[in-house]
Structure 1
């Protein structure tokens, strides 16, 4: 887990603790080939080292340990908690049930087009617009005129039952959107509005390779796990309107949404897995104290005037969404050295 992820986690923790709420840990591991065994527990342990805890999730363990945690603590196995499944990879039956409900409302249809097919359609000489989904298209990522005029009865059950449909030969499942504006209030960015018919078009709930979409999984999980506040990075701001539309279709409540500005490098690009030196594990091994990281992150957020060491609990009383900066924060190249030497 790199500094950017830790920064968003810190805001989520402060937001829920400042209002006396409960924090849940959920493992979003839908894309099997890209999910590394043991990575989720490692990330949880890293946040626990920073001093962040949670109230429910996959593990029992000693949380909120300081940087003085003994070396063997990092190698101790954590026992999984019983009860609700917090691993999305184990919740396929719940996602399939949601699809069946939507199909019963006539809101779904199968789609054989690949992303490349849609890009070729979009590149046709008819002009283009810049969509909120991050792709420049002539109208929308999936324009309504591409919808099938009819679907065969039982198509969804056949698709769900046929494991051989996974892969390039299979169909994705798309949700119809309406030509209407969806508005919500973001905890940091204020009032936001989007017309999905003009930006994304009908969007995917199950991919051609059989993987459930992020949009479907988090909406189903948020509703069943009674999540009333979602805090995540600003790069996911464009997912909000799609999730609100899906919530309305399923009759699910809409939580509050707060999006945290990203940490970026000197090149303006967000931190990612390639920035290995800025991962919490690497910083810890190099001698950086957890309190130094927390203090630095608080400073980049606007919660502290200087990057002095701090524990998360020391930041709760002064936390407010109104105090957070809206702009991305640039991480200097020598941040690891600064954190080690104060």
Structure 2
């Protein structure tokens, strides 16, 4: 299978300049290493009508192209169920009936990492299990046998993070992100994952799950985020931050692309032109503060 990189947005609304900058980086990493570049729409949750079409339009407008058809997670349920079935057959899952509030209020298990699931439902007896099944639907959790796992990241080096009994399938039947992303990347031949560094902390869980499923762990590169003037991760509420808003203010997509390239220390122009100057070792390591260009235009 051909090796590939990917960009995988959730169609919850328009992409902002932080999302677009990460998409450019994922494209540059993939193309600079001779990989295919795939686009996957992660629409298991929070999908907004029409958002996907706008996202694809905006990616094309800044020059991000992709290979093959767009893949959508909602069409891949059978793959997720097969993976969960393999874990269940190996005794690596259990049913969980805890509400979010119950998890927050439960005392932590001895020696458990901060923020880890406390294991409330891990060893329920048959009678208690039958009773809980009659009260509410169950989520499916992984029965992890490690507390931490280490991954290697191109930009961060070795990173060790929490692995707890995380959810594989929610109690409403929706596959959880941590399982879906591992299955999707493996099935699509994605062996390079470039994404925002806000997702670094969840990566050890995903890499550990991949090891249980005998799936190769991809190469990771978690890139710095775009932040607002307060140093907080950029969001759509921070003003003119989408291509649509910026275009309405008279700032075309090509100018936005050049600004994003400049923030990466790359020359203006097409992405193909930027590719010739791209070297991961030369990337900025700090978040980039978006000060807006509308007022300065």
TM above 0.5, one fold?
Answer: yes
Question: SS of the counterpart of 1:12?
Answer: helix
Q: Show the 5 A alignment for 1:255-294.
A: 255-294=218-257
Aligned to 1:54: 66
Aligned-residue CA RMSD in angstroms? 2.6
1:186 equivalent in structure 2: 153
- How big is each residue's C-alpha offset from its partner over 1:262-287, in whole Å with a ceiling of 9 and x where there is no partner? 11111121112323521112112322
**What SS does the corresponding residue of 1:173 show, helix, strand or coil?**
strand
What 5-or-longer segments of structure 1 have no aligned partner?
A: 59-85, 132-136, 160-164
Aligned pairs for 1:78-157 within 5 A: 86-122=71-107, 137=114, 140-144=115-119, 146-149=121-124
Structure 2 Cα separation of the partners of residues 276 and 57 of structure 1: 33
C-alpha distance in 2 between matches for 1:192 and 1:102: 25
TM-score, normalisation: structure 2: 0.86
CA distance change for structure 1 residues 150 and 331 in 2, over 3 Å: closer, same or farther?
same
- Partner of residue 190 from structure 2, selected from 209, 222, 227: 227
> Helix, strand or coil: the match of 1:25?
strand
CA distance in 2, matches of 1:180, 1:143: 12
Bigger share in strand: 2
Number of residues of Structure 1 aligned to a counterpart in Structure 2: 280
Distance in 2, Cα, partners of 1:22 & 1:110: 38
TM-score scaled by length of structure 1: 0.75
| Residue 298 of structure 1 pairs with residue 265 of structure 2 | no
1:7 partner SS: helix
- For the residue of structure 2 that corresponds to 1:26, the secondary structure is strand
> Equivalent residue for 2:54?
42
C-alpha separation in 2, matches of 1:224 and 1:150: 36
Identify if the C-alpha distance between structure 1 residues 178 and 127 changes in structure 2 by more than 3 Å, giving closer, same or farther. Answer: closer
Aligned mates of 1:103, 1:276 — CA distance in 2: 46
Deviation at 1:93, TM superposition (A): 1.4
Question: Is the CA contact (8 Å cut-off) linking 1:303 and 1:324 kept in structure 2?
Answer: no
Tell me if structure 1 keeps the 8 A contact 2:196–2:225. Answer: yes
Runs of 4+ in 1 over 4 A off after TM superposition: 126-129, 149-152
Quote the residue 2:11 is aligned against.
none
Q: Is the 8 A contact 1:173 1:204 kept in 2?
A: yes
Question: If you compute each CA radius of gyration, which structure gives the higher value, 1 or 2?
Answer: 1
**Separation of aligned partners in 1, 2:142 and 2:201:** 17
1:37–1:336 distance in 2 versus 1, CA, 3 Å: same
Q: For the Cα contact (< 8 Å) 2:97–2:121, is it kept in 1?
A: no
| 8 Å contact from structure 1 (residues 51, 311) kept in 2 | yes
How much has 1:181 moved relative to structure 2? 4.3
Secondary structure at the counterpart of residue 208 of structure 2: helix
Looking at structure 1, the residues matched to 239 and 67 of structure 2 have their Cα atoms a distance apart, in angstroms, of 29
CA distance in 2, matches of 1:128, 1:289: 54
Structure 1 residue 29 and structure 2 residue 29: aligned?
no
Gaps in structure 2 of 5+ consecutive residues: 1-14
